[in-house]
Structure 1
Amino acid sequence: MRRPSGTQPILAALAILLAGCAAGGMPYTGRHLTPTECRDLAALKTNAPPTMAQHHSELTALRKAGYDPSPWYDDPYYPDDLQAAQRLVDYWFQTECQQSQPR
């Protein structure tokens, strides 16, 4: 089967794009957690009753770490994917939220 001649540049661009995605792309060097998320995650680590806003901040942080809660009924990687995202959020919390933590 022969491809039209105009598809060569498109295929080359697609190959470069996919190679960048497979390699992980450019590393993210900014903050991952907002000050509000830092505050809410710190509050969740206490024994105080959590608020809906604190739960929302936690879920937002987990989604930033790659967790997708939508396929909960048919996720073959649950709970491993949730635990991996939680470890990443904990790492971000330790490295980015030091000023927000009580001393």
Structure 2
Amino acid sequence: MKTPPGTRSILSALVILLAGCAAGGAPYAGPHLTPTECRDLAALRTNAPPTMAQHQSELAALRKAGYDPSPWYDDPYYPDDLHEAQRLVDYWFQTECQHVQSG
């Protein structure tokens, strides 16, 4: 049976929420991105050639959002899981990195 669109995102959000509660309380409510990640993600949104450090910051942010690049050859959810993590990182960037966006 095929899963309806959007169901995977909802289920992933519930898993993250429940994992946070099971780990001893409410899910993490502080900033998800470091100032360096904010700066590097902002730089990646320009037309300047990216650096290796900027790519590493982007990968670190994607991993925080739940993406695991290691099983790429055997991941039945790829590229959906990558796109889901990218949307979450984009949301974090919009809500947590205003100081970099306006500067």
Q: Does the pair score TM above 0.5? A: yes
CA distance in 1, matches of 2:43, 2:52: 12
**Shift of residue 28, structure 1, vs aligned partner:** 1.2
Flag structure 1 segments of 5+ consecutive residues without an equivalent.
1-20
TM-score (norm: length of structure 2): 0.76
**Shift of residue 22, structure 1, vs aligned partner:** 7.6
Corresponding residue of 1:23:
18
CA distance in 2, matches of 1:52, 1:76: 28
**Shift of residue 35, structure 1, vs aligned partner:** 0.2
Amino-acid identity (%): 80
* Equivalences, count: 83
1:29-84 Cα deviation digits (max 9, x unpaired): 11100000000000000010000000000000000000000001010000000000
Corresponding residue of 1:72:
72
SS in 1 for 2:94: helix
Flag structure 2 segments of 5+ consecutive residues without an equivalent.
1-15
CA distance in 2, matches of 1:33, 1:41: 10
Describe the shift of the 1:30–1:77 C-alpha distance in structure 2 as closer, same or farther (beyond 3 A).
same
CA distance in 2, matches of 1:28, 1:62: 16
Runs of 4+ off more than 2 Å: 21-24
Higher mean alpha-carbon deviation, 39-48 vs 21-30, is at: 21-30
Corresponding residue of 1:56:
56
Question: What pairs with 1:1-103 in structure 2 (closer than 5 Å)?
Answer: 23-24=18-19, 25=21, 26-102=26-102
RCO higher in 1 or 2 (8 Å CA, sep ≥ 6)? 1
CA root-mean-square deviation: 1.5
Structure with max Cα Rg: 1
CA distance in 1, matches of 2:36, 2:47: 19
Amino acid in structure 2 at the alignment position of 1:23: L
